[in-house]
Amino acid sequence: MTPRATNLDEPAEHLAPVPSAPLERLLRAGDPLPDAATVASETAGAIARTRRALADAAGGDATCVAAHSVYAAPWGPVNLAVSAAGVVAVSLREPEAAFVADVERRLHGRVVPLADPAVPTAWRALMDRTMAELDEYFAGRRDSFDLPVDLAGISDWDRAVLGGAARLRFGEVTSYGRLARMIGRPGAARAVGGALGRNPVPIVIPCHRILAGDGSLGGYGGGWTGTREEMLGIKRSLLAGEGVPIPAAALVG
């Protein structure tokens, strides 16, 4: 998987959609349920009830909205959560209890261990698939993810930024400012960085491919647990696995 050469002067239009049809459709059309972060509390409650009904229809506990497990990444444990709609959370450096609480707040429901008898078979299959694709990515055998993603609770702004980040292909990097221009918001580099820091599914939506304007690492992780040095070490290792040197010689967009 040799990354395609890029050039600073290459127009943003060359960026092709991520090969993953489920992810591309979600980012283009939006989550099938309304964004609970921007609606009235009674509507958020209705969303929670709908999600519980989906879980019940799938053969699970109607009060359970997601299941979580732990993946062994090269640098250590990564928390994962899946829902009826897709992969809902990936957390690189966060204690398990805090991770579960965060997902429950976002989805307005109960998140249980994958081994819980209430978890539908389809959710277990999605978790297995997610871990298998991560294994392939870290082994150098996969350059994109073919996974459905659940962006419930994510604002329209964050969704727009994550959609731009998702267009970056394996081995391509850009800057916060260039990504802001790519999504039609020139000058919004700082706000773009904030949205990337809130990315609920890092690696799957590759926020590690956005760098500082001079090609240096910039930041990584937002409010995730872990020291700045630890988080930047993870970002550097992800980019190294895609053949991107730091500082990067070329940025797209």
So which residues are the catalytic ones? Answer: 207
The whole-angstrom distance between residue 68's C-alpha and the CA centroid of its chain comes to 15
Rounded distance, CA 173 to CA 6, Å? 9
Side-chain half-sphere of 158: how many Cα atoms within 13 Å? 18
- For 210, residues 6+ apart whose C-beta sits below 8 A from its C-beta are 165, 168, 173, 174, 175, 176, 179, 192, 193, 196, 218
Alpha-carbon distances, residue 99 vs 57, 69, 78, 93 (angstroms):
26, 11, 10, 9
Judge residue 124's burial from the number of C-beta atoms within 10 Å of its C-beta, 0-12 exposed, 13-18 middle, 19 or more buried. middle
DSSP H/E element including 64 = strand 64-73
Residue with tokens 């267009």: 167
Backbone phi and psi for residue 61, each to the nearest 5 degrees, phi listed first: -70, 125
Judge residue 132's burial from the number of C-beta atoms within 10 Å of its C-beta, 0-12 exposed, 13-18 middle, 19 or more buried. exposed
